[in-house]
Amino acid sequence: MTTSTLTRVRRRGPRRRARAATALTPAAGLGLGVALIWFSILVMLPLSAVVLTTTEGGWTTFVETIQQPQTWAAIKLTVGEAVLVTVTNVVFGTLIAWVLVRDHFWGKGILEVVIDIPFALPTIVAGLVLLSLYGPGSPIGIDVANTRVAVFLALLFVTTPFVVRTVQPVLLELDPETEQAAASLGASRLTTFRKVLLPALTPAITAGAALSFARAISEYGSLVLLSGNLPMRTEVTSVRILTYIENGNMAAAASVASLLLLVALFAIIALDVIARRVARR
Amino acid sequence: MSIEIAGVGRRFGDFVALEDINLSVPAGQLTALLGPSGGGKSTLLRIIAGLENADSGTVTIEGNDATRLPARKRNVGFVFQHYAAFKHMTVARNVAFGLEIRKQPKDQVAERVREMLRLVHLEQFADRYPAQLSGGQRQRMALARALAIEPSVLLLDEPFGALDAKVRKELRDWLRRLHDEVHVTTVFVTHDQEEALEVADQIVVINQGRIEQIGTPDELYDQPASDFVLSFLGPVTTLDGRLVRPHDIEVAAGPVPDSVVGTITRWTRIGYEVRLEVTPTSGGDPVQVQLTRNDALQRGLAEGSTVWLREVAPVNGAHSPVPA
Amino acid sequence: MNERGPVRYVLRAIVLVYLTLLIVWPVFLVGKNAFAEGTGAFVDALTEPTTVDAFELTLVVAAWAVVINTVFGVLISVLLVRYTFPGRRILSALIDLPLSVSPVVVGLALLLAYGGTNGWFGPTLESSGLQVIYATPGIIMATAFVSLPLVIREVVPVLTEIGTEQEQAAVSLGANAWQTFRRITLPAIRWALVYGVVLSLARSLGEFGAVKIVSGNIVGQTQTATLVVEERYQNFEQTAAYAASFVLAAAAVLALIVVTLLRPGHAAAPTIRASAEVATPLTTEKDPA
> Cα–Cα distance between A174 and A172 in angstroms, integer?
5
A187 reaches C (C-beta below 8 A): no
B84 reaches C (C-beta below 8 A): yes
For residue B157, report the phi and psi dihedrals to the nearest 5 degrees.
-100, 105
Chain-chain contact of A253 with C108 (C-beta, under 8 angstroms)? yes
Residue A164 in contact with residue A93, Cβ under 8 Å? yes
Secondary structure (3-state) at B313: coil
Closest-CA residue to A74 (of A220, A209, A215, A211): A220
pLDDT band at A21 (very low <50, low <70, confident <90, very high): low
Residue C148 in contact with residue C204, Cβ under 8 Å? no
> Cα–Cα distance between A228 and A231 in angstroms, integer?
9
* Distance in Å, alpha carbon of C282 to nearest chain A alpha carbon: 25
pLDDT along chain C (289 residues), means of 10: 68 91 90 86 88 92 95 93 87 81 91 83 82 88 91 89 90 91 92 89 90 85 89 88 91 87 51 29 32
CA distances to B131, B134, B135, C198 from C280, rounded to whole Å, are 6, 6, 8, 31
pLDDT in the model for residue C180: 92
Compute how many other C-beta atoms are within 10 angstroms of the C-beta atom of residue C8. Answer: 17
Chain-chain contact of C174 with B98 (C-beta, under 8 angstroms)? yes
Residue A126 in contact with residue C29, Cβ under 8 Å? no
What is the number of residues in chain B? 324
Q: What is the pLDDT along chain B (324 residues), one digit of tens a residue?
A: 589 999 999 988 888 899 999 999 999 899 999 999 888 899 999 999 998 889 999 999 998 899 988 888 899 999 998 889 998 999 999 999 999 999 999 999 999 999 999 988 999 999 999 999 998 899 999 999 999 999 999 999 988 887 888 888 888 888 888 888 888 999 999 998 888 998 999 999 999 999 999 999 999 988 899 989 998 888 888 888 888 888 888 888 888 888 889 999 998 888 888 898 999 988 888 899 998 888 888 888 888 888 999 888 655 544 444 443
> Cα–Cα distance between C63 and A193 in angstroms, integer?
47
pLDDT tops 90 at residue A181: no
Span between the terminal Cα atoms of chain B, in Å: 44
Is the sign of the CA dihedral B277, B280, B284, B290 positive or negative? negative
Instruction: Please give the single-letter amino acid code of residue C243.
Output: A
Q: What value does the CA radius of gyration of chain A take, rounded to a whole number of Å?
A: 22
pLDDT band at A261 (very low <50, low <70, confident <90, very high): confident
Compute how many other C-beta atoms are within 10 angstroms of the C-beta atom of residue B79. Answer: 25
Angle ∠(A214,A216,A220) on CA atoms, nearest 5: 115
> Which residue in the set C27, C113, C249 is minimally distant from A45, CB to CB?
C113
pLDDT in the model for residue A158: 93
Residue C45, judged by CB atoms within 10 A of its CB (0-12, 13-18, 19+), counts as buried
The distance from CA C252 to its chain's CA centroid, rounded to whole angstroms, is 10
Chain-chain contact of C168 with A123 (C-beta, under 8 angstroms)? no
**Which is more confident, C282 or A158?**
A158
Instruction: Please give the single-letter amino acid code of residue B118.
Output: R
Total H helices, total E strands in chain B: 9, 17
> Cα–Cα distance between A97 and A164 in angstroms, integer?
5
DSSP A112-144: HHHHHHHHHS-HHHHHHHHHHHHSTT-TTS---
pLDDT in the model for residue C70: 95
> Cα–Cα distance between B34 and B14 in angstroms, integer?
23
**C95 contacts: CB under 8 Å, gap ≥ 6:** A39, C76, C80, C148, C149, C152
Q: Which chain B residue is nearest to residue C289, measuring alpha carbons?
A: B88
Chain-chain contact of B101 with C174 (C-beta, under 8 angstroms)? yes
Chain-chain contact of B87 with C184 (C-beta, under 8 angstroms)? no
B113 reaches C (C-beta below 8 A): no
| Confidence (pTM) | 0.80
Instruction: Please give the single-letter amino acid code of residue A221.
Output: G
* 3-state helix/strand/coil string of B179-243: HHHHCCEEEEEECCHHHHHHHCCEEEEEECCEEEEEECHHHHHHCCCCHHHHHHHCCCEEECCEE
Angle ∠(B246,B248,B253) on CA atoms, nearest 5: 90
Residue numbers in C near B88 (CB within 8 A): 187-188, 190, 287, 289
**B162 contacts: CB under 8 Å, gap ≥ 6:** B81, B82, B83, B135, B139, C277
Chain-chain contact of A121 with C27 (C-beta, under 8 angstroms)? yes
pLDDT band at A275 (very low <50, low <70, confident <90, very high): low
pLDDT tops 50 at residue A184: yes
Compute how many other C-beta atoms are within 10 angstroms of the C-beta atom of residue C38. Answer: 10
ipTM, 2 decimals? 0.83
B2 reaches C (C-beta below 8 A): no
Q: Which chain C residue is nearest to residue B76, measuring alpha carbons?
A: C172
Element (H, E) at B123: none
> Cα–Cα distance between B228 and B209 in angstroms, integer?
14
Residue numbers in C near B80 (CB within 8 A): 165, 168-169
C240 reaches A (C-beta below 8 A): no
**Subunits touching C (CB < 8 Å, at least 3 pairs)?**
A, B
Is the sign of the CA dihedral B97, B98, B101, B103 positive or negative? negative
> Cα–Cα distance between A54 and A42 in angstroms, integer?
19
Residue numbers in B near C270 (CB within 8 A): none
Chains B & C: contacts with CB separation below 8 Å = 91
> Cα–Cα distance between A227 and A215 in angstroms, integer?
17
Angle ∠(A227,A228,A232) on CA atoms, nearest 5: 90
Residue numbers in A near C207 (CB within 8 A): 122
Element (H, E) at A13: none
Please, where are the H alpha helices in chain A? 2-10, 26-39, 45-67, 69-102, 108-120, 123-134, 148-173, 176-184, 189-192, 198-218, 221-226, 237-246, 250-280
> Cα–Cα distance between B289 and B67 in angstroms, integer?
49
Please, where are the H alpha helices in C20-164? 25-34, 38-47, 49-82, 88-95, 97-100, 103-114, 122-127, 136-162
Angle ∠(B217,B218,B222) on CA atoms, nearest 5: 120
